[in-house]
Amino acid sequence: MSGIIEKFQSLFPIVYFNIGIRYLIAAGIAFLFFYVLYRNKFLTKRIQSAFPKIADYRRDFFYSMLTIFFFSIIAILTFFILRPYTLLYDALSDRSLGYWLLTVIPMFFIHDFYFYWAHRLMHHPTLFRSVHKVHHLSTNPSPWTAYAFHPFEAFIEAAIILILAFTVPTHPFIIMLFMVFQIIYNVYGHLGYELFPKGFHRTWIGRYINTSVSHNQHHAHFHGNYGLYTLIWDRLFGTIRADYDESFEKATRPRSS
């Protein structure tokens, strides 16, 4: 036990820094670009006309730093403590580049499916009041909202790392790259701006891609649109909001700033 504790103590600052820097870069660049440097230029792409308050940014940043603490614990547990029991490969040379790229596909859908049901569970009245409400304090989300979770929800969110390690025969580096994609898309979902073009939601692929409008609706109204990367499960299980198409069209309609 003492050896495990020592390993945690030695690894924690490094892992926390690595996860934290990815969040700071992804959220920071998006915030700088859309909320500071080009705030006025992209006003026509705003989903909600109002902007969050400074207190909202501070609260989201605080909870995100706390979330990264728990993400770090799960990452150390997965990649170092439980590593011998997982399906993870030790060397990238064990398989071809094509194989590693293919492992991203099951990771994508496993995470998407897991998030959908975990998210719906968080909307059970008891869990919502005591846990998920922290994330929904941001009714008008910003990039800093991406990791703004209650500690319990942070554990639930981070558990996907453990699940992937035990279900997908891949390399830790590939999971790390996948988590980079995850935070980038997470920031986009909370961006407050819609980047997809007008009419995208009616294309054959756009019907199943989660958009910033979709997740913004979820934050504003607290129900429906539970997906992460896709709308597959929302459409399949009937939780897509009835006014989603209308809201997407309104957000992408040509407007003057």
DSSP for the chain? -HHHHHHHHHHHHHHHHHHHHHHHHHHHHHHIIIIIITTTTTGGGBSSSS---HHHHHHHHHHHHHHHHHHHHHHHIIIIISGGGSS--S-GGGS-HHHHHHHHHHHHHHHHHHHHHHHHHHTSHHHIIIIIHHHHT-SS--GGGGG---HHHHHHHHHHHHHHHHHS---HHHHHHHHHHHHHHHHHHTSSB--SPTTGGGSTTGGGB--HHHHHHHHHHSSS---SSBSHHHHHTT-S-TTHHHHHHHHHS----
Average pLDDT, rounded, for the chain: 95
Torsion sign (Cα): 246, 51, 38, 214: negative
The model's pTM is 0.94
Rounded to the nearest 5°, which phi and psi values hold at 190?
-105, 10
- The residue type found at 155 is F
* pLDDT value, residue 249: 94
pLDDT of 12 over the 80 cut: yes
Distance, C-alpha 2 to centroid of its chain: 34
What's residue 58's pLDDT? 97
pLDDT (tens digit, 9 = 90+) per residue, 149-180?
999 999 999 999 999 999 999 999 999 999 99
- Pick the range with the lowest mean pLDDT from 49-53, 115-119, 228-232: 49-53
Nearest to 238 by CA among 221, 223, 219: 223
Q: What is the pLDDT of residue 256?
A: 58
Position 255 scores a pLDDT of 65
Predicted local distance difference test score (pLDDT) of residue 7: 83
Is 218 within 8 Å of 122 (Cβ atoms)?
Answer: no
Helix axes 151-167, 97-122, angle to 10 degrees: 150
Q: Please provide residue 149's backbone torsions phi and psi, each rounded to the nearest 5 degrees.
A: -120, 155
pLDDT in tens, 63-110: 999 999 999 999 999 999 999 999 999 999 889 999 999 999 999 999
